[in-house]
Each structure stands twice: as structure tokens, then as C-alpha cells.
Amino acid sequence: MGEIAPAPSPRPMRADARRNFQRLVDAARTAFAEHGAEASLDDIARQAGVGPGTLYRHFPTRLALLEAVYRDEVDDLGDRGERLAEEAEPFEALVAWLDMFLSYAATKRALFHELIEVAGRDSELLTHSRQVIETSGGAVLARAQEAGVARADVTVGDLTRLVGGCTMMPGATEEQQRRMLEVIVAGIRT
């Protein structure tokens, strides 16, 4: 995953503090994926190899840690989308981005609902996330449309709603979600 920048502070963070920050984000990502937004913060600190005091110095609240994980994931999706837009064939890039977005949406669903409850839909983080998704998904979609391999009437908003919807089907397995993604891909190919 991409490294995220810690919140601005009056002085630069030491290298060991930056490492601890990233280890905490990585451990929290795993814990939230396995146990949801209510994962034990003490367990996260233990998994990161730091004490609870270090966790709370970096993330004074559960929300701060949730936000850091969420931002890390969306920024990684954006970075990977930019690389796809530059390096892969247009339709393959679009399919790969949709696959990445499916995984992102599936794992972030619980965090998303928690963040909306606490911070609101128009929080800086969720606004940033929408912008990153729109930009990276829009770039791969536009490239596929310009190459004539994706329908011109499809928008990135259409795709994120369709793919995101695949992750919200009650009881849907990962296999079912992947099959639904294949149906979406078939529907946007020219």
C-alpha cells in the first residue's frame, strides 16, 4: 500500500515515528478488515509492535485511525489508477481499475458507514475520497472511451454505483461479486 502522510505537525516527524505511524495504519487496515470498525485498538498497537501510548500519540481517537486507514486506501487506489492509465491497454486498464475498486469498496464498506456517522458525508476525508475515485476512474474510463473500446455514454459515477452496489448485496460472496463485475464489464464494452 502507498505510504500516507501523517497529519501536519509543528516539526518534522522522526524516521522511527514515521515507521510507527505506517505500521499502525497497516495493522489497523488488517484489523478493520477482519473485525470491522470496532476492532480493538490495543490489539492494533500490539500487531504494529508498539505500545498503546504510541498509538494514541499518533491517533488520539478511533476516528483519527479510521480516517488514516481510509485515506491510505483511497490514495493507493488513486495512485494505482494513474499508473494503469499510463501503462496498460485502455480496456484492460479500465477492467483492472474496476476490479481494484470492487476490492476497495468491499473492504471499506464498514469503515465508510462509521465515518459517515461520525464525520458526515461532506467531511474533508470523504470529499477527498470522492475526488480521488472520480479522477482515477475517470482517467481510465476516458482513455477506454477515446480508444473506442468502452461505451461513450457511461460515466465514472455510473461505474462506481454499479460496482459499489455489487458489494452491498446481502450475503453476496466474493465469487458472486466478481461475476457481477464481469456482467458490468460486458455491458460497457463497445
- CATH number of 134's domain: 1.10.357.10
**78 and 51 belong to one structural domain:** no
**80 and 161 belong to one structural domain:** yes
**CB-CB contact of 57 with 41 (8 Å):** no
The percent of residues above 70 in pLDDT, for the chain, comes to 94
Q: Which residue has the higher pLDDT, 110 or 125?
A: 125
Summarised one tens digit per residue, pLDDT across range 81-111 is: 999 999 999 999 999 999 999 988 887 776 7
**85 and 161 belong to one structural domain:** yes
**86 and 159 belong to one structural domain:** yes
In the prediction, which pLDDT does 6 show?
Answer: 54
Which residues are paired to 189 by β-bridges? 150
Output the domain CATH number for residue 40: 1.10.10.60
In the prediction, which pLDDT does 110 show?
Answer: 66
Residue 125 lies in domain: 62-188
Nearest 10 degrees: Cα torsion 23, 99, 133, 87: 90
Looking at the domain assignment, is residue 141 inside a domain? yes
**CB-CB contact of 25 with 45 (8 Å):** no
Across residues 39-63, what is the average pLDDT?
95
Across residues 27-51, what is the average pLDDT?
92
**47 and 108 belong to one structural domain:** no
In the prediction, which pLDDT does 10 show?
Answer: 56
